[in-house]
């Protein structure tokens, strides 16, 4: 392998980060189209609540995507390279699924739409696996924070487009037109795939499909303090997840804010604050070590719920709402950028698709199971105790960072030579 000139290396870095932004958009766009936007189409079509509830099960593909992630590590698809081949073919499949859905109606072709929605969600989850693996493979340690921020930013913007703008289009021109428009916008993700540079970082992970499933787990579990790393993935954002799990319910029913205020501030303004926080965290990660960023952002995201805590104690008014939402979402963005960088750093590039999918599934499981606990605490002990508990939930992640201390130097050294 020959060394690239500084100019060439800079051009490749720019192309990689640009591609990651576009790929983030491509990853986020299909999510609402197989979930909330499809739900809205079924609702206005007059389907029963039971039917609508059953259709939402298609989102399980995003939870269980780790089950087929080893296939992305094991096999390469025709045309383009190892990761980009999977990205391109899944993006083409998503476009086909969206066009086919646009030609149907929930009132007359519900079974076909349900099957296509399952295919759409499965293709979308597979695209996520390939995109996550690409980021883990290609980003250098100093670029992980910014890469994570750009990917998260593109993903969140796409979810607004497919979950909000698509409904606006549907209201004016119908859902068929909205789904066709979203199929066209998938071209943004495909452009990201076509321009993405892909360095050769590792050979295909295994000589058999069985090894493709077993080796990623074996490799990780034989690492020093492997169980503590897994525990950190589970709890690093626990306090943040606990606070946000019932934030809208608290603002509406606990604090008495109007629905329109909560919609604009907690959703629209909150999304912007999260994206800004992710970008700020990414820029700081270019200058800080990963361990330092996780420490500082972990403390800040732990304290992010102080504004909600103050509202629960009696702080009132619109400024209180804006301040609380800004603090929680900005610090959440900071923590998310560092956390995604950590997941990428933990991946062995031979198994990055499988390991990243497992890590993200572990994080998702923690968020899912914290919901019932949050509801129980709020119902039985009130909102003041609820937000006090969310502040305490940030402590275990900080303690694990302390216990893992010296492991970060090895992690950075491994990443820089992989």
CA pair distance 104, 122, nearest whole angstrom? 19
Q: Does any domain span residue 1?
A: no
Q: Does any domain span residue 26?
A: yes
Return the top range by mean pLDDT from 67-76, 88-97, 138-147: 88-97
Examine the domain organization and report whether 239 and 155 are in the same domain.
Answer: no
What is the reported pTM?
0.84
pLDDT grade for 80, boundaries at 50, 70 and 90: confident
Quote the pLDDT of residue 8. 65
CATH of the domain at 215: 1.20.1250.20
Q: Does any domain span residue 372?
A: yes
- Residue 215 confidence (pLDDT) above 60: yes
Examine the domain organization and report whether 243 and 155 are in the same domain.
Answer: no
Examine the domain organization and report whether 144 and 228 are in the same domain.
Answer: no
Q: Does any domain span residue 323?
A: yes
Number of domains in the chain: 2
- In terms of Cα–Cα distance, which of 63, 84, 26 is closest to 364? 63
pLDDT grade for 43, boundaries at 50, 70 and 90: confident
Examine the domain organization and report whether 187 and 215 are in the same domain.
Answer: no
- Residue 50 confidence (pLDDT) above 90: no
Q: Does any domain span residue 304?
A: yes
Examine the domain organization and report whether 188 and 275 are in the same domain.
Answer: no
Mean pLDDT computed over 142-163: 89
Examine the domain organization and report whether 170 and 264 are in the same domain.
Answer: no
Q: Does any domain span residue 151?
A: yes
pLDDT grade for 306, boundaries at 50, 70 and 90: very high
Lowest mean pLDDT among 125-134, 180-189, 255-264: 255-264
SS (H, E, C) the chain: CCCCCHHHHHHHHHHHHHHHHHHHHHHHHHHHHCCHHHHHHHHHCCCCHHHHHHHHHHHHHHHCHHHCHHHHHHCCCCCCCHHHHHHHHHHHHHHHHHHHHHCCCCCCCHHHHHHHHHHHHHHHHHHHHHHHHHHHHHCCHHHHHHHHHHHHHHHHHHHHHHHHHHHHHHHHHCHHHHHHHHHHHHHHHHHHHHHCCCCCCCCCCCCCHHHHHHHHHHHHHCCCCHHHHHHHHHHCCHHHHHHHHCHHHHHHHHCCCCHHHHHHHHHHHHHHHHHHHHHHHHHHHCCCCHHHHHHHHHHHHHHCCHHHHHHHHCCCCHHHHHHHHHHHHHHHHHHHHHHHHHHHHHCCCCCHHHHHHHHHHHHHHHHHHHHHHHHHHHHHHCHHHHHHHHHHCCHHHHHHHHHHCCHHHHHHHHHHHC
Examine the domain organization and report whether 41 and 164 are in the same domain.
Answer: yes
Mean pLDDT computed over 190-208: 76
> To the nearest whole number, what is the mean pLDDT of the chain?
88
Give 338-377 pLDDT, tens digit per residue. 999 999 999 998 899 999 999 988 887 777 778 788 889 9
Examine the domain organization and report whether 127 and 215 are in the same domain.
Answer: no
Q: Does any domain span residue 99?
A: yes
Examine the domain organization and report whether 101 and 227 are in the same domain.
Answer: no
pLDDT grade for 310, boundaries at 50, 70 and 90: very high
pLDDT grade for 201, boundaries at 50, 70 and 90: low
Domain boundary among 164, 195, 226: 195
Quote the pLDDT of residue 264. 82
Task: Check residue 227 and give left, alpha or beta (phi > 0: left; psi -120 to 50: alpha).
Answer: alpha
Q: How far is CA 414 from CA 82, 177, 344, 407, 411, in A?
A: 22, 49, 12, 11, 5
Examine the domain organization and report whether 231 and 180 are in the same domain.
Answer: no
Examine the domain organization and report whether 348 and 249 are in the same domain.
Answer: yes
Give 233-266 pLDDT, tens digit per residue. 999 999 988 888 888 889 988 899 887 888 788 7
Domain boundary among 147, 170, 195: 195
Q: Which residue has the higher pLDDT, 410 or 312?
A: 312
Examine the domain organization and report whether 355 and 326 are in the same domain.
Answer: yes
- Residue 146 confidence (pLDDT) above 80: yes
In the chain, what percentage of residues exceed pLDDT 90?
57
Q: Does any domain span residue 70?
A: yes
Lowest mean pLDDT among 298-302, 318-322, 408-412: 408-412
Domain boundary among 173, 195, 217: 195
What's the domain range around 298?
Answer: 209-417
């Amino acid at each position: 392998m020959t060394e690239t000139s500084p100019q060439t290396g800079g051009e490749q870095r720019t192309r990689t980060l640009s591609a990651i932004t576009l790929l983030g958009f491509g990853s986020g766009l299909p999510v609402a189209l197989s979930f909330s936007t499809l739900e809205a189409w079924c609702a206005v079509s007059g389907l029963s609540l039971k039917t609508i509830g059953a259709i939402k099960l298609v989102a399980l593909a995003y939870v269980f995507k780790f089950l087929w992630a080893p296939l992305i590590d094991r096999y390469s698809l025709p045309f383009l390279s190892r990761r980009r081949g999977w990205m391109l073919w899944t993006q083409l499949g998503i476009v086909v699924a969206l066009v086919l859905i646009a030609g149907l109606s929930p009132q007359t072709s519900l079974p076909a739409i349900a099957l296509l929605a399952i295919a759409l969600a499965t293709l979308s989850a597979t695209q996520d696996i390939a995109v996550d693996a690409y980021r883990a493979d290609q980003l250098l340690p100093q670029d992980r924070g910014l890469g994570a921020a750009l990917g998260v930013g593109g993903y969140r913007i796409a979810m607004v487009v497919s979950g909000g703008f698509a409904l606006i289009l549907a209201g004016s021109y119908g859902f068929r037109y909205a789904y066709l428009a979203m199929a066209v916008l998938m071209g943004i993700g495909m452009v990201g795939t076509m321009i993405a540079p892909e360095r050769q970082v590792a050979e295909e992970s295994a000589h058999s499909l069985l090894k493709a499933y077993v080796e990623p787990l074996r490799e990780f579990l034989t690492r020093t303090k492997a169980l503590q790393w897994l525990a950190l993935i589970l709890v690093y954002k626990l306090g943040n997840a606990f606070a946000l799990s019932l934030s809208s319910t608290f603002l509406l029913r606990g604090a008495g804010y109007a629905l329109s205020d909560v919609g604009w501030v907690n959703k629209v303004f909150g999304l912007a604050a999260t994206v800004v926080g992710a970008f700020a965290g990414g820029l700081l990660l270019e200058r800080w070590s990963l361990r330092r960023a996780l420490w500082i952002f972990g403390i800040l995201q732990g304290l992010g719920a102080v504004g909600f805590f103050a509202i629960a104690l009696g702080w009132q008014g619109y400024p209180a709402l804006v301040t609380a939402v800004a603090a929680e979402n900005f610090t959440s963005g900071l923590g998310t950028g560092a956390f995604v960088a950590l997941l990428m750093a933990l991946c062995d590039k031979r198994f990055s698709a499988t390991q990243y999918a497992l890590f993200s599934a572990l994080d998702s499981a923690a968020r899912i199971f914290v919901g019932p606990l949050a509801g129980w605490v709020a119902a039985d002990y009130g909102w003041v105790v609820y937000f006090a508990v969310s502040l305490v939930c940030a402590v275990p992640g900080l303690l694990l960072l302390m216990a893992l201390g010296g492991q970060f130097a090895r992690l950075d050294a491994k990443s820089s030579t992989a």
